[in-house]
Copies of this chain bind each other. A is one copy, B any other.
């Protein structure tokens, strides 16, 4: 077993093009021994967003704090604490903080097969 408190994990800026004022903490991933999927904690400062992008793997997101929109080609969907979001592989999406406080969410993704 491995236990880590979120605050002990370094917050790295999300530097993909289109991201703004957003950090990610990799809480559980391959280096910790995760066999199948990773747990990350995203924090979007006010005005922050993740890139508008798509990829061939799913997201499973749980909103912890704050208010945000999930932006898709069909428009924005507001999300709030306690919401669980399944973003399917290939769906174009962006998360945008819509409030004046940080928005925090867990985001789980499958790990790629080991080489």
Nearest CB in chain B to that of A85: its residue: B3
Chain B CB within 10 Å — which of A3, A35, A91 has the most?
Answer: A3
Determine if A89 is an interface residue (Cβ-Cβ < 8 Å). yes
| Number of copies of this chain that the complex holds | 2
Contact yes or no, B84 A3, CB < 8 A? yes
In the complex the two chains form, what is the Cα distance from A2 to B77 in whole Å? 10
Q: Interface size class for chain A?
A: 35 or more
Contact yes or no, B36 A37, CB < 8 A? yes
Determine if A62 is an interface residue (Cβ-Cβ < 8 Å). yes
- Among the 9-residue stretches A10-18, A26-34, A44-52, the one with 4 or more Cβ atoms under 8 Å from chain B is A26-34
11 sample A-B contacts, Cβ–Cβ < 8 Å, listed by A number? A1-B85, A1-B86, A5-B80, A6-B83, A6-B84, A28-B84, A33-B88, A36-B58, A62-B106, A64-B64, A106-B106
- Which residues does A use to contact B, with CB under 8 Å? 1-7, 27-28, 32-37, 39, 58, 60, 62, 64, 70, 72, 77, 79-80, 82-89, 91, 93, 106, 108, 110
